[in-house]
Structure 1
């Protein structure tokens, strides 16, 4: 049988109250709580909403509005003690510590004095963090209800604040708007989806496409789209395998600065890229997703979710180096790299934890540079400062990772897809470690994802002009 107290609000009249009576609620702060509070209050202080600004404040990150915690005190007074019918008269507040995204706040009120003549009640109010730190404390003075009230709890609407994918895309496009378009070999774009992706990126001023494919099939796809190929550079080849070979040759000849996958299979393109006379560098080729989700205050990279199935320690080192290069290209000068595992402790029974520890030591010895590494870290400790504090993890990386390094392709791919389909994450994807960036488009990609991937390739190609891989 369900607990009726969960669906019913009951108050306590003045005569039912005694000194020492108390009530409390718990609430975990999410980024959407901050956004909703800002939307309702109009308080758009960047300390609460702008990760870049907040990172350089004394709090070193986004924190909740102080009055968000105070509003929880009001919620306890109005729904539990004394409850419905309570009239707020005054409230004092002292803000002792910030509340951060992921913190679970306990809010408690306790009766300290009863003024019978006017049926007024004084209550001590306190908001505490999981480690016992007091975030807010103060005192409330209320007038208690005279009559008992019992009401069905109002069902609130399910409110979602979703950062439209095009907003993140606009930010990225604005960032690259001053850069010249790059010539990109689009490899075998012989279906409507892949051809449209190339034409859209061309329309946005990101790429000058060189279409490498059988001309007849290109024209058929263009006709189906109702598009024209007039004025575009087309390299006629007999089939997809030849298209991959020709695209690689164009890179080696210096005619293009990036590749973009069309309707051929990824393995077919990558085989041409990684062969000895292809586009190999001293690095292992790997894939990076650049992602942004409403629940995390900054864009972040997931790697490797598409190329390396079960990478070795040396291959993981290259995967991290590639991701750090991408972070530098997008303006993150000292990225925080979280090496993921199922746990945050090193165990001989879990090879991923051993690799993580070794990678961190390699960074200590200067074998991996350009970022700060920590691991092994479980996913919650990598992205939640509250979870890290509860586990006693003290780290520059934990809770604020810029790069998430998966132990293998399966876990990385599942993590990325879960964030896309269940976490409203916007994404862009690139292959790194070759002589040029490679855009791997998918039939399931959105318009925003395809354009963002091309914008990312544009950034990286310009970065490679001064710092080639």
Structure 2
């Protein structure tokens, strides 16, 4: 089981180098991350965006970039489309969000002409490296699905399980979280959590371990779960946190970074290729972690389809 990003970096050292297509690359933390990824033999890059600004940022920060790998497109929307097209046409392996709004970026990912649709629900997962837990925690969905219904939450769970499997967590424990631990008709998220837990009990997730509703404390803290009398295989031991809405996931991810100082990675799962999607304000470290995660995803998909099989609901 992979418990930190250092182990990810070690694991992918022997993997083939991948090609990253960066949409709207004129950002110092993005450039720093892709340059480090190249130096680590993790990935090469194609930078799509305003060439003049990219070169200026590189010179101001002392970055040694390859100018022949810059595709000049000053218009952000056109730059996104070109970046996506490079991936969908197999000229790049990984798509990465640069200095652009998430909604504009996702419109490119979902573009019906050149996008990365697979017919499945796509969702975002933040992988949190927690020094207090001494392991990784997968939080979904804080960036893509705004207010998912029951069916969408089931797909979000499957995507997160797939990513956790890639991190060698073969039987991840999934906590469907809300504000309280009891089903309450006045709080629809608690009803969804209860139904998903019952679906898991009935084998509708092929034996995967899903429970809820949980509040965050009793999902990840054994002492909090014990104090509140919450039992079961997931209580206090969750690997995956399914949040009730995009607001909850977004705040949880940013609280992790800005209140604890710990790192994270952010990726989209369910697209036809790995997608690196972090906040524009995230550090170069988090963006490099995200690239490493995407490289891990790109190299592990076929192995996992054999080892773990498909998960159905």
- For normalisation by structure 2, the TM-score amounts to 0.89
Matches within 5 A, 1:396-415: 396-415=233-252
The aligned counterpart of 2:183 is: 346
Tell me, in whole angstroms, the C-alpha distance in 2 between the residues paired with 1:298 and 1:443. 25
Q: Separation in 1 of the partners of 2:258 and 2:72?
A: 38
Q: 1:243 to 1:368 in 2, by over 3 A?
A: farther
1:155-304 residue pairs with structure 2 within 5 A? 168-230=4-66, 232-277=68-113, 278-304=115-141
Post-superposition offset of 1:467:
5.7
Instruction: Tell me the SS of whatever aligns to 2:47.
Output: strand
Q: Secondary structure at the match of 1:299?
A: strand
Separation of aligned partners in 2, 1:213 and 1:168: 32
Partner residue of 1:305?
142
Structure 2: distance between partners of 1:186 and 1:266: 14
Question: SS where residue 177 of structure 1 aligns?
Answer: helix
Cα distance per residue 1:276-300 (max 9 Å; x no partner): 2311123222111111222213211
Tell me the secondary structure at the aligned position of residue 14 of structure 2.
Answer: coil
Structure 1 pair 370–299 and aligned structure 2 pair: CA distance change class (3 A): farther
Worse-superposed segment, 247-256 or 332-341: 247-256
Gaps of 5+ in 2: none
- Contact 1:294–1:424 at 8 Å: present in 2 too? no
Q: Which has the higher helix share?
A: 2
Higher normalized contact order (CA 8 Å, seq sep 6+, divided by chain length): 2
Q: C-alpha offsets along residues 54-77 of structure 1, whole Å, 9 cap, x if unaligned?
A: xxxxxxxxxxxxxxxxxxxxxxxx
Q: 1:387 to 1:435 in 2, by over 3 A?
A: same
Aligned to 1:109: none
How far did residue 465 of structure 1 move? 4.3
Question: What is the distance in 1 between the residues matched to 2:250 and 2:110?
Answer: 21
TM-score of the superposition, structure 1-length normalised?
0.61
Residue number in structure 2 paired with 1:464: 301
Does the Cα contact within 8 Å between 1:334 and 1:370 map onto a contact in 2? no
* Paired residue secondary structure (1:331): coil
Tell me the residue number matched to 2:271.
Answer: 434
The answer to whether structure 1 residue 368 and structure 2 residue 205 are counterparts is: yes
Question: Is residue 24–residue 98 contact of structure 2 (8 Å, CA) maintained in 1?
Answer: yes
Cα deviation, residue 395, structure 1: 0.8
Query: What is the alpha-carbon distance in structure 1 between the residues aligned to residue 8 and residue 255 of structure 2?
Result: 23
Name the CA distance, whole Å, in 1 between partners of 2:64 and 2:156: 39
Separation in 2 of the partners of 1:253 and 1:364? 42
SS at 1:279's partner residue?
Answer: coil
How many pairs were matched up? 305
Q: Do the aligned partners of residues 395 and 309 (structure 1) sit closer, same or farther apart at CA in structure 2, a change above 3 Å counting?
A: same
Question: Contact 1:286–1:433 at 8 Å: present in 2 too?
Answer: yes
Runs of 4+ in structure 1 off by over 4 angstroms are: 465-469
RMSD: 2.3
- Once residues 68 and 38 of structure 2 are traced to their aligned partners in structure 1, the CA distance between those partners, rounded to angstroms, is 10
Inter-CA distance 227–380: structure 2 relative to 1 (3 Å threshold): closer
Mapped partners of 2:242, 2:200: distance in 1: 14
Q: Deviation of residue 266 (structure 1)?
A: 1.5
**Structure 1 pair 370/452, CA: closer, same or farther in 2 (3 Å)?**
farther
The answer on 1:324 being equivalent to 2:164 is: no
Structure 2 CA distance, aligned partners of 1:255 and 1:225?
29
